Structure 1
Amino acid sequence: MILLKCRRGRPQWNTSRLLFISDNTEDDLHLNNSFGDTGLISPDKEDISRILTVPFSGRIRGGMRPGKKIIIMGIIDPEPDSFDISLTCGHNEENDDEDLTDVALKLRARFTERQFLRNARVSGKWSEEETPITYFPFIPDQPFRIEIHCEHQRFRIFVDGHQLFDFYHKVKSLQAINMIRIVGSLQITKLG
């Protein structure tokens, strides 16, 4: 079960709030997952809109591990260009230069080309971009649900309940993958 915790603090990626995705069940702000019974409690709508502003960044408490999954629900903008979802290994505290962090998984949806790209950056070098998909699952002005399942060897990516592709780990320490960043032509409605 993934729970969310909000904390005021130093701005990250031009946001003033930091959200924690956590396995800790004590003293956390919970967002519910409307697909299935998670036992989570929903904050009021005003709290959700403040927390889930795009661009968004949040900490994954305890990092990733096999069996952990992240669910992102939202609505694509009416005239979208692209959006990115990145799972990273923190950020550089000293100079706040996100170009120095490892990116375990970067998903990029490009609407004009109808592509859902993925790659990773380790030690400053990007891996070869993976492009093949059976179909482009995103529709302007429509809701979506992305699930990122972490397994021992790979991430499994589902969109609206359908497995779209696998992405094999380039970052070997799954626990080091402790941040999520979401930017682009979408609104986030739920994250868990």
Structure 2
Amino acid sequence: MTDTRLEWTQGDRAKAAAKLMLGWVALLWVLEVVDVVSGHALDGLGITPREPSELVDVVPAAFIHFGFAHVAANSVPLLVMGFLAALGGIRRFAMICAAIIVADGLGVWLIAPAHTNTAGASGLIFGLFGYLLVSGFVERRPWGVVAGLLVGAVWGGAILAGLAPTQTGVSWQAHLLGLIAGVGTAFVFRRRATPAALTS
């Protein structure tokens, strides 16, 4: 009976994680449609560094993209990595994402080149990559280690390429800061192993 309840709990978590990430990615596409229809009015929600008024855009910038190709490039990795991270619990996942988005956005605001406008979900994606890569080892959870190795095998090359400062039109600063923030959240939000229950 206990095993059955555990399976249902895991199944419910998977369904909740899938619904959340499908909705999240759909929202990004809807926002880009609105942006195009409005003559790219939403592009102003990107982060222009070291302008005090731009601090309010730290969070919205993670949901805005510069064109459908930009959204498309971020959709699959966000969907998959977000799903894997959300399996650990929706509330915990929300805190992890919030921490990554805020840390990444503030970092971009501080160190990005002057007169640039940075937006997109890639900072969060790099953060989720960093989180998934190390959280299994930090928490000593086998499934987490497997998830991290899988994510590393699939997206490791693209992540390394995204950190190269030679790419034009790409914020390697946002990528690097997101990655660092994600690794940090793996330690900050790590779960303690619960002692095994023994009967006498």
Give the TM bin, normalised by the shorter chain. under 0.3
Please report the TM-score for the alignment, with normalisation by the length of structure 2.
0.27
TM-score by length of 1: 0.28
Instruction: Flag the structure with larger Rg.
Output: 2
| Bigger proportion of residues as strand | 1
Q: Looking at both structures, which has the greater relative contact order when contacts are Cα pairs under 8 Å and sequence separation is at least 6? A: 1
